[in-house]
Homo-oligomer: A and B are copies of this chain.
């Protein structure tokens, strides 16, 4: 054991099959772990890509069954997207934050979702879903979804693990997507260093870290987009428990300079 302090291991859980509505994610995860020779231990963090949670929760919409409203038709022309997709996005939206009409060939609709997360197209996603016109929606309440998973692992294994559900989002100012936490349970999403002294003894005056987002990004490194590794096991990270889920990561609009 080197003297270097406790390392963190980020372990891809391979062998997760394609998830279908009502699949038992806890059972499937445990089976994949056993097949891989991995143990899930007290204090581990399990990170799940939103996509498989949405599928298991049957948050799938067939665009062929969607009748776009007149407004969806209008908007679809402005951002050059399928009006049925726009209709679905609007049904998941509480507020349109920004609309990109400058480049119709890659129109963007940045919205606030029901859960409070701000993302392109409200997280409605057409990739990796069976059938040509199927799209997935975000879980209705990702913190609740995470809680149910944590309870499932507790029931099956008798131990507490932390659960994080992630989504892949773009950001203002920076190119490339990153993974963020849209749901969590058993882990405090924010870590507050305020009041602690820095190594020179000065008080750290503004350091509250979004650790759940940093874990999501760490896991994202191994959630190969093309190869389906939707579950990541993290060992060795000492987190705080409690908190109110990933909704703590959503800035109060009154404190937000950018909406």
Contact = CB atoms under 8 A, between A and B. Distances in A.
B128 A199 contact: yes
A195 to B, nearest CB: 10
Given A209-B178, A217-B214, A221-B211, A4 B173 contact: no
Chain A: number of interface residues, binned into ranges: 35 or more
A16 to B, nearest CB: 10
Contacts of A233: 4
B218 A198 contact: no
B218 A214 contact: yes
B175 A204 contact: no
A222 interface: yes
A67 interface: no
A208 B170 CA distance: 10
A124 to B, nearest CB: 13
Interface stretch (A33-41, A57-65, A70-78, A151-159): A33-41
Interface stretch (A6-14, A20-28, A85-93, A137-145): A6-14
> A-side binding surface: helix, strand, loop or mixed?
loop
A147 interface: no
B12 A10 contact: no
B172 A258 contact: yes
Given A3-B36, A8-B222, A37-B2, A172 B208 contact: no
A108 interface: yes
Contacts of A259: 172-173
Nearest to A118: B173
B197 A226 contact: yes
A180 interface: yes
A86 to B, nearest CB: 17
B258 A173 contact: yes
A18 interface: yes
A229 B177 contact: no
B248 A175 contact: yes
A249 interface: yes
Given A168-B207, A176-B190, A207-B225, 17 more contacts: A2-B36, A3-B35, A4-B36, A7-B222, A8-B10, A10-B218, A100-B257, A118-B172, A128-B200, A128-B202, A129-B200, A172-B257, A173-B259, A174-B213, A176-B209, A211-B221, A214-B221
